[in-house]
């Protein structure tokens, strides 16, 4: 079942998504399997066999779940969201780590340093995790450094690569093909399959990028390994 909280992406809608997610995760209804957030909605998955005993004559499992979800929506409090969590992600910008930094700078008629400073000056809201395990969709990137996707996607972008696509920025969590403009790379692992919480970031978190030197990158990469 999909619960839609709005049609436009923005912090106000995201707060509703986060509040509903928090409620369902702490107080799931009988038969609920999991809930998955997106930019503007929450998908609720349920076990029809566990819902079956609650079905009356003339009703369906979907109607029962809709009633249970509606009751949860009435209980929802937008003020009941998780504590604001800011994760700092170190990034080595440019060079072999960010082969498209110069192209992004030229597109926006900025210097390389200006692109880096602008990109690292904001706190970005994690709207959702998707596309690949642990990949964060971040909101709040300044339009001054927006750039179109590459005309020809790369067949392999290394995990940790920080990219720009349109007015979005994000971090590749695993090695994968992609068409984003790569401006830097982080030594942190955003997806750790053996960890209790495999994704470093969660919807509702905030990210701040911290520029580092190549020497710092190599040191942190060694520690991460």
- 80-84, 106-110, 127-131, 213-217 — which is least confidently predicted? 80-84
Position 225 scores a pLDDT of 65
Of 3, 71, 63, 79, the C-alpha closest to 35 is 3
Do 175 and 156 touch, CB atoms closer than 8 A? yes
Residue 132 carries which DSSP code?
S
pLDDT band at 82 (very low <50, low <70, confident <90, very high): low
* Two tokens, residue 103: 């192209």
Q: CB count, 10 Å around CB of 153?
A: 12
Q: Is the pLDDT of residue 94 over 70?
A: yes
To the nearest 10°, report the CA torsion of 9, 12, 17, 18: 120
Position 14 scores a pLDDT of 85
pLDDT band at 78 (very low <50, low <70, confident <90, very high): low
Q: What is the tens place of the pLDDT at every residue in 187-211?
A: 999 999 998 889 999 888 999 999 9
86-224 CATH, one of 3.40.640.10, 2.40.100.10, 3.30.200.20, 3.30.70.260: 2.40.100.10
Q: What is the tens place of the pLDDT at every residue in 6-41?
A: 988 888 888 899 889 989 999 999 999 999 988 899
Q: What is the tens place of the pLDDT at every residue in 120-175?
A: 999 999 988 888 899 998 988 999 999 999 999 999 999 999 999 999 999 999 99
Fold of 2-75: Gyrase A; domain 2 (3.30.1360)
CATH code 2.40.100.10 region(s) in the chain: 86-224
Q: Is the pLDDT of residue 176 over 90?
A: yes
Position 81 scores a pLDDT of 57
Residue 123 CB-half CA count within 13 A: 9
From the number of C-beta atoms within 10 Å of its C-beta (0-12, 13-18, 19+), residue 133 rates as middle
pTM, two decimals, is 0.81
């Amino acid at each position: 079942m999909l619960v839609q909280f709005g049609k436009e992406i923005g912090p106000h809608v995201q707060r509703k998504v986060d509040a509903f997610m928090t409620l369902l995760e702490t107080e799931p209804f009988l038969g609920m399997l999991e809930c998955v957030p997106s930019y503007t909605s929450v998908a609720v998955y349920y076990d029809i066999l566990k819902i079956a005993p609650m079905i009356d004559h003339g009703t369906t499992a979907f109607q029962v779940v809709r009633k249970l979800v509606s009751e949860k929506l009435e209980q929802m409090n937008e003020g009941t969201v998780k504590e604001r969590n800011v994760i700092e992600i170190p990034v080595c910008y440019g060079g072999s780590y960010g082969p498209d930094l110069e192209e992004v700078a030229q597109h926006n008629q900025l210097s390389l340093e200006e692109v880096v400073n602008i990109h690292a000056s904001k706190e970005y809201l994690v709207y959702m995790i998707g596309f690949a395990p642990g990949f964060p969709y971040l909101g709040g990137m300044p339009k001054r450094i927006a750039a179109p996707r590459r005309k020809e996607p790369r067949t392999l972008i290394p995990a940790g690569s920080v990219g720009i696509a349109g007015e979005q920025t994000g971090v590749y969590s695993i090695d994968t093909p992609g068409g984003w403009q790569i401006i830097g790379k982080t030594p942190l692992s955003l997806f750790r399959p053996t960890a209790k919480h495999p994704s470093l970031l969660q919807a509702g978190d905030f990210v701040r990028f911290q520029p580092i030197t190549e020497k710092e990158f190599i040191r942190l990469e060694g520690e991460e390994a």
